[in-house]
Structure 1
Amino acid sequence: MSVFESKVLLKKPVSEVYAFLADMSNHGKLMPENVIGWTSDADLASFEIQNITKLSLKIHNRITNREIIIIPAEKPPFDMELKWLLAESGTDTEATFTITANLNMLMKMMASGPLQKLTENETQRLTEIFS
């Protein structure tokens, strides 16, 4: 399994950050520009990564103010899990976004850079939204 992770400290209460991330409709605001055709509701999102693939993701589990686990709603090109972990730090929130992917050697060579960039992009956009 390959793991890609990015962590940020947000100057907002954990309940506010959790409320935003617990709704899949808000995740479209975190996506890079090459994500097109975003459609979503509170639990499910479908989109296309331009010139690469179409994906459908759903929230698999929510633990209030602590964790959100997102998994593919349809068979993806490779098995993966996306996880947001939230930790209260005084009045701030530490948010960690992790993508765990089961990549074969060829996929690992092709996808590692973009997946790491995606984790960093999502946490950076989250920082911008909450600043």
Structure 2
Amino acid sequence: MTVIQNHTVINKAISEVYSFLADLNNHEQLMPDNIYNWTSTVDEARFTIKNMAKLSLKINQRVENKEIICVPSEEAPFEVKLSWRVEEISSSETKATFVIEAQLNMMMKMMASGPLQKLVDHQIARVREVLG
């Protein structure tokens, strides 16, 4: 299992950060430019990654003010789980961690690790910008 992650500290209460991340409609704001054809509901998102694939994700589990887990809702090129974890630092500061766990063979790992790390880093930067 390949695990790719990054985190940031956001100057907002944990409930605000969790509420934002628990709604997949908000995740379009976190996506890089190579994502298009975005459609979403609170629980599901569908999009296309330029020159790669179409993906459909659904929220598999929510643990209030702790974690949101997304998994593919349709067949994906590889087994993958995306998790947002939030942790209270103080009443006005929250640590947000984005983790991608992917079952990649050696060839896929060489091809996908870089783009997946860029995606994680981009989303962490964007969540910090959007929520300030």
Query: Shorter-chain TM-score: what band?
Result: over 0.9
Instruction: Report the TM-score, using the length of structure 1 for normalisation.
Output: 0.99
Spell out, residue by residue over 1:60-84, the C-alpha distance to the aligned partner (whole angstroms, 9 max, x if none): 0001111000000001000000001
Counterpart residue type for residue 87 of structure 1: E
Where in structure 2 are there 5+ consecutive unaligned residues? none
Where in structure 1 are there 5+ consecutive unaligned residues? none
Q: CA deviation at 1:12?
A: 0.3
After superposition, where does 1:52-67 map in structure 2 within 5 Å?
Answer: 52-67=52-67
RMSD over aligned Cα, in angstroms? 0.5
The equivalent of 1:7 in structure 2 is 7
The equivalent of 1:92 in structure 2 is 93
Paired with 1:51 and 1:23, the residues of 2 have a C-alpha distance of 27
Q: CA deviation at 1:130?
A: 1.3
Paired with 2:13 and 2:131, the residues of 1 have a C-alpha distance of 10
Q: How many residues align?
A: 131
Paired with 2:57 and 2:131, the residues of 1 have a C-alpha distance of 24
Spell out, residue by residue over 1:63-112, the C-alpha distance to the aligned partner (whole angstroms, 9 max, x if none): 11110000000010000000011000012000000000000011000000
1:106 alignment partner, SS class: helix
1:74 alignment partner, SS class: coil
Counterpart residue type for residue 65 of structure 2: N
Asked if residue 101 in structure 1 is aligned to residue 121 in structure 2, the reply is: no
Paired with 2:106 and 2:2, the residues of 1 have a C-alpha distance of 10
Counterpart residue type for residue 75 of structure 2: K
Paired with 2:49 and 2:112, the residues of 1 have a C-alpha distance of 13
Q: Which runs of 4+ in 1 moved over 6 A?
A: none
Counterpart residue type for residue 58 of structure 1: K
Instruction: Report the TM-score, using the length of structure 2 for normalisation.
Output: 0.98
Paired with 1:20 and 1:77, the residues of 2 have a C-alpha distance of 28
Spell out, residue by residue over 1:14-53, the C-alpha distance to the aligned partner (whole angstroms, 9 max, x if none): 0000000000111111010000000000000000001100
The equivalent of 2:24 in structure 1 is 24
Asked if residue 117 in structure 1 is aligned to residue 118 in structure 2, the reply is: yes
